[in-house]
């Protein structure tokens, strides 16, 4: 190639480097903007002063409680199976095809309480989480029971266990735990003699190892789960691209606005109590173009 050809090639390369097509990409995390609903199932941390409850007797106060705790990085318990929390972001979270959400919990090795994560797009544009929820597929999706329901019955006396029954005819109780002595495990802002929760029942994750009951982790795709694929991030990472229909059919969502985390295990464990998902933070990734 002659000198003139080399000079032309250099000019073209420099021009290409200055076009918008050659931008570098960076990502940052952003916290949720608002808690829209906090409806835990009965559990050992519910109403407990040590867990930060103080005058939490209305749905609005419950949301304010959850927001304050999450902004401080403290746990918010979702109680027994089906209990949930709904949060939203200030701006839509784009589907990058990779990890888009980070949900912190209080899991550690040999102690996981997996929660199912759901996402919603604000299709009607009213800024409220009243459109359709889609489950984010996790590693145990095929072994999970879709469209499950559990009904809890308020006890006749506050200091008694909370009975439950499900749609398959099974029944049990949220037992009292010696370390948690608040008068009632029933959420103070939930009225009525009964409350029914609907969602996905994950397979049991508890086994007896020697003389110790161990709530083990699932591989990926759940909140409050000690997944080794998520250790470096300090939170459970999730993908909008994993949204599915109940039968497992993938759903393409270009973006989402709301996230719901829901306790997925229905199990009472000796000396541990109910397997209750805890949430400590809800964040998203933002892609920045320089």
| Number of domains, the chain | 1
Q: Is residue 3 a part of any domain in this protein?
A: no
Q: Which two tokens stand for residue 178?
A: 């010696």
- Identify whether 168 is part of a domain: yes
Domain region containing 283: 23-289
pLDDT at 274: 98
- Of the candidates 17, 233, 11, 13, the one whose C-alpha atom is nearest the C-alpha of residue 105 is 233
pLDDT attached to residue 276: 98
Per-residue pLDDT at 131: 98
> How does pLDDT run along the chain (290 residues), one tens digit per residue?
443 443 333 333 333 333 333 444 577 899 999 999 999 999 999 999 999 999 999 999 999 999 999 999 999 999 999 999 999 999 999 999 999 999 999 999 999 999 999 999 999 999 999 999 999 999 999 999 999 999 999 999 989 999 999 999 999 999 999 999 999 999 999 999 999 999 999 999 999 999 999 999 999 999 999 998 888 778 999 999 999 999 999 999 999 999 999 999 999 999 899 999 999 999 999 876 54
91 phi and psi angles, rounded to 5 deg:
-130, 155
In a domain, 50, yes or no: yes
Whether residue 14 is contained in a domain is answered as: no
Contacts of residue 51, defined as CB under 8 A and 6 or more positions apart, other chains included, come to 45, 75, 77
49 falls within a domain: yes
From the CB of residue 50, how many other CB atoms can be counted at a distance below 10 Å? Answer: 10
Sequence-ordered alpha helix ranges (H) in the chain: 3-17, 59-71
- Identify whether 12 is part of a domain: no
Domain membership of residue 13 (yes or no) is no
pLDDT of residue 8: 35
In a domain, 4, yes or no: no
Place of tokens 């040999």: 110
């Amino acid at each position: 190639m002659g000198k003139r050809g080399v000079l032309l090639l250099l000019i073209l390369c420099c021009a290409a480097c200055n076009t918008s097509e050659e931008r570098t990409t960076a990502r940052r995390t952003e916290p949720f903007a608002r808690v829209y609903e906090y409806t835990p199932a009965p559990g050992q941390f519910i109403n407990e002063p040590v867990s930060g409850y103080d005058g939490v007797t209305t749905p609005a106060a419950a949301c304010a409680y959850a927001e304050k705790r999450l902004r401080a990085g403290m746990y918010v318990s979702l109680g027994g199976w089906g209990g949930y929390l709904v949060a939203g972001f200030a701006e839509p979270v784009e589907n990058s095809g990779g990890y888009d959400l980070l949900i912190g919990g209080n899991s550690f090795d040999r102690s996981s309480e997996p929660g199912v994560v759901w996402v919603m797009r604000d299709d009607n544009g009213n800024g409220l989480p009243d459109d359709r929820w889609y489950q984010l597929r996790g590693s145990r999706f095929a072994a999970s029971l879709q469209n499950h329901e559990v009904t809890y019955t308020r006890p006749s006396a506050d200091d008694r266990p909370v009975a439950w029954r499900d749609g398959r005819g099974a029944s049990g109780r949220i037992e009292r735990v010696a370390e948690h002595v608040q008068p009632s495990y029933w959420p103070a802002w939930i009225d009525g003699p009964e409350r029914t929760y609907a969602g996905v029942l994950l397979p049991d994750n508890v086994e007896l190892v020697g003389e110790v009951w161990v709530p083990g982790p699932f591989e990926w795709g759940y909140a409050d789960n000690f997944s080794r694929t998520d250790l470096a991030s300090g939170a459970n990472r999730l993908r909008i691209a994993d949204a599915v229909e109940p039968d497992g059919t993938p759903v393409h969502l270009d973006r989402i606005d709301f996230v719901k985390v829901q306790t997925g295990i229905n199990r009472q464990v000796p000396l541990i109590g109910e397997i209750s998902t805890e949430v400590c933070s809800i964040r998203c990734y933002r892609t920045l173009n320089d």
